[in-house]
Chain A
Amino acid sequence: MQSRVILDSTKFALTIERLCHQLIENHGDFSNSCIIGLQPRGVFLSNRIVQRLEILLGGKRPLYGLLDATFHRDDFRRTEKPLVPGKTVIDFPIEGKRVILIDDVFYTGRTVRSGLDALLDFGRPAAIELLVLVDRRYSRHVPISPDYTGKTIDAVMYEKVRVEWTENGGKDEVWIIPFKMVS
């Protein structure tokens, strides 16, 4: 099977714009909400969303942190390569806040599961919501579902979803790639 684009750059930008507006609908001026990007790849999306929200909210930047859940993952000592941790930067209390957790591709749900565990080490939030750019349906290993979704897709197991970012040398696109072609 061929690789194919499922979100081109125009739709990509529109999707992020729509997600931002959905967030504002639910969180207003973000006075009691915060945004947490999941390391490593969710951070590209959360950076974009926070940048855009800052403009939409008239220059007010929502509380924004980065979370690395490596130490809470369930595949430690079970993968060939050791898990290398990323940076966590949460310099505000999340106690009592409404947290929006952000990741790029939602697949088995295991990363988000470890993210939820890691997040609770910082206190007890009022609520946690999940925002993802791509939701791969019917492939969950844990009972978690997103609150905000950029695009829902049906991809089979031997396909991989790749999100490219201009920040990462790509073009703001989402691709479905057959497994063998993934380098």
Chain B
Amino acid sequence: MSSLSVRHLISIKDLQTEDLQLIFNTADQFKEILNRPIKKVPSLRDITIANIFFENSTRTRISFELAEKRLSADVVNFSSSSSSVKKGETLLDTVNNILAMKVDMVVMRHQSPGAPVFLSRHIDANIINAGDGTHEHPTQGLLDAYSIREQLGKQRNGEAPTDFKGMKVAIIGDILHSRVALSNIHCLQKLGAEVLVCGPPTLIPHFVETLGVRVTYNIKEALMWCDAANILRIQLERQDIKFFPSLREYALYFGVNKELLDSIGKDIIIMHPGPINRGVEITSDVADSGQSIILQQVENGVAIRMAVLYLLAGRKEVS
């Protein structure tokens, strides 16, 4: 397979397993490019990409921008706080105005789930979802899986696995408000891994088992079961009511600390999509430990996003 089955990257749920493999194999080549003296290739030099962020972001936005620039694309940035959205313009009008200036691809983050799907039905450009509310954050799901794959590759003398059969991944924390969780669940399951979610009962969505994941409310049980733990941030900005008594109590019952990690008697991979709240969901000694691949995740983010942009742009649409 040499091309993606989709025109837009809206959600991992829409992708085939072969799409995931293609993205990972392409990202391998981009990762090599990122280690060259000149970290830039001319592939997308005739493409213009708009990064439209209706919600705050540092990592994702910088990562996308770097990926675009390293592919030689022209980049325009837009954030809602400094734009006419504040004056009452609709999403579709805003995007159509940007597209009228001949933009080929749109990378969008929006606070409403489904915003990128809506957009993809009304406009012609390729759309990449950079996070839509509590729905999905597909490139994060991809880079998390890619980082696990890379880690497994190191354990197997450089040969990256083609699937994750037998691999167990726990996603810990605020599952209810997390778009990263859903993208991770879909991505890992498509690759053949087993997934478990763990958190306080109020932060685990009802019927999450119907996705085929295990559920536990005991952090130690989750850590003992898994080979890799993806620890998520408590998304206070999305919580309009209290889901747990206090951050201190959350840290006590669901925070991952060194003592807990040492007590499970095996080395597991520790991941976090960032931003980290040190001392809440993860302590500093765990986040900075040798088991943690948090910074590798950020590094891989650029390669994964380059692969996605390259593969979506590479479909022949110009005549």
Contacts and interface: CB of A to CB of B under 8 A. Distances in A.
A107 to B, nearest CB: 22
A71 B33 contact: yes
Contact of A86 (B29, B41, B318): B29
Given A71-B43, A85-B26, A88-B32, A78 B38 contact: no
Given A68-B29, A121-B33, 12 more contacts: A71-B29, A72-B41, A77-B46, A80-B316, A81-B3, A82-B316, A117-B42, A118-B41, A120-B38, A121-B37, A122-B37, A123-B37
A79 interface: yes
A81 B2 contact: yes
25 contacts: A71-B29, A71-B41, A71-B42, A71-B43, A71-B71, A71-B310, A76-B314, A77-B46, A77-B315, A77-B317, A78-B316, A79-B316, A80-B316, A81-B3, A82-B311, A82-B315, A82-B316, A84-B22, A85-B26, A86-B29, A87-B32, A89-B32, A117-B42, A121-B36, A123-B37
A83 interface: yes
B313 interface: yes
**For A71, A86, A87, A123, which residue has the most chain B Cβ atoms within 10 angstroms?**
A71
A121 B72 CA distance: 14
B40 interface: yes
A83 B315 CA distance: 9
Contacts of A76: 43, 314
A117 B26 CA distance: 20
Contacts of A120: 38
- Size class of the A contact interface (CB-based, 8 Å): 20 to 34
Interface in B288-319: 310-311, 313-318
Interface string B12-54: 0000000000100010110011001110111100100000000
Top 6 A-B pairs, shortest CB-CB distance: A71-B41, A82-B314, A121-B38, A85-B29, A82-B3, A71-B43
Interface of A: 68, 70-72, 76-89, 117-118, 120-123
Nearest to A90: B36
Contacts of B311: 82
Nearest to A88: B32
Interface residues of B, number: 25
A17 B305 CA distance: 45
Contact of A72 (B26, B42, B313): B42
B317 A121 contact: no
Given A82-B3, A82-B311, A86-B29, A122 B317 contact: no
A122 B41 CA distance: 12
Contacts of A82: 2-3, 311, 314-316
Given A71-B42, A72-B42, A121-B37, A88 B29 contact: yes
Contacts of A72: 41-43
Contacts of B46: 77
Contacts of B28: 87
